[in-house]
Structure 1
């Protein structure tokens, strides 16, 4: 059986510079996904054209849009790049340029040219769950996201905040605190 060997991380995208190459429907989808999860993301978009909805979204979040063909100079000071054009040659060039500069890159709908995938995300206050299908089935990730959105209670954030306060009162070393919190929260799984 194949195994998902991706390592999930949660990025502080407000501290990173993101570039989206492309201005069509896929760019809008990736931008919407990013801003829904991380509305303070710092994003620049470059494309010869932008969909009207992309322009509206970019203006709403005060993002920088550059009307131009992709050029590798747009990678300067970028940490993350998402290539979304409908021109595979441009997308692969973006990938190659990013690899030369050690920039994390995602070529939309082309898993071999991705350092990361943008999976399904469930957010309930401070609780965030990321769902990955190893780039194989975004539809499955979407359905799992919908399932978790329904089954995770809205008040889960109250529990997180209360446990955070309780944790501050605990004495002892790290292992003792973990053991106490594990014992205290084991009833959550019943």
Structure 2
């Protein structure tokens, strides 16, 4: 008999959105791999320090250093870079020295600092996936270290399948949620469940195009339906509240 519960599929990773904003991250190395890691970290608003001799920085990493987007320590890694007072939240190595990378990884394990050793899956506490980004939308594809290039191809396919304007529609949903919390600020479990349930219904019934077309007046009108538990259509919102929209019958309904 098939189980009514999900089957366990071991061997995966726990996919998380790590909130690294404002936290200290150490990147060891200054080549192409390091450059990619730095972009991801800066997009997440991390405070990045690059440890690498100046002559080891590639053009992109040198640009980040010169623009003061990252701090730079002009030498090889030393244990003092992970002293407790530095409050390093994670460390990433991207150097062409497997033995040095392993020594750094072991030191990180001793200090309980999460580490990613580039191209050495057994020495990684976490992996980087291939990410599709559209404003607030982020979709990560991970092959758990088996095929990074394939992950990139799958990520591109997913991005091409998404409706145009998906990121913008998500921004509108975020604005709508904030408005809803203002008019219904209750913090009890019942209040939270009701807000989440109503927002879920709105997202299920409205299309990406509806959210993209929604303006401030539409949002203000929509949240007024919350207490009654109704989710109106986008057309009902516009028809009921907008004087600038003219609804006329032009005989084009296709009646025979």
TM-score (norm 2): 0.64
- The aligned residue for residue 21 of structure 2 is 14
- The aligned residue for residue 244 of structure 2 is none
Which consecutive aligned stretches of 4+ in structure 1 deviate over 4 angstroms post-superposition?
1-4
- The aligned residue for residue 116 of structure 2 is 106
Question: 1:99 offset after TM fit, Å?
Answer: 0.9
> Which has the larger displacement, 60-69 or 160-169?
160-169
**Cα-to-partner distance string for 1:101-159 (whole Å, 9 max, x where unaligned):** 11110000000000011111111111111221112111122112212322223422342
State how far apart, in whole Å, the 1-side matches of 2:158 and 2:65 are.
Answer: 29
CA RMSD between the two structures: 2.6
Higher relative contact order (CA 8 A, sep 6+): 1
- The aligned residue for residue 136 of structure 1 is 146
Contact 1:4 1:133 in 2 (8 A): no
- The aligned residue for residue 169 of structure 1 is 180
Contact 1:43 1:63 in 2 (8 A): yes
For the pair shown, the structure with the greater C-alpha radius of gyration is 2
Matched, 1:160 2:170: yes
The DSSP-based 3-state class of the residue aligned with 1:173 is helix
Unaligned stretches of 5+ residues in structure 1: none
Would the alpha carbon gap of residues 166 and 62 (structure 1) be closer, same or farther in structure 2, given more than 3 Å must change?
Answer: closer
State how far apart, in whole Å, the 2-side matches of 1:65 and 1:121 are.
Answer: 26
Would the alpha carbon gap of residues 31 and 175 (structure 1) be closer, same or farther in structure 2, given more than 3 Å must change?
Answer: same
TM-score (norm 1): 0.84
> Which has the larger displacement, 154-163 or 62-71?
154-163
Task: From the two aligned structures, give the one with the greater strand fraction.
Answer: 1
Aligned length: 188
Contact 1:21 1:46 in 2 (8 A): yes
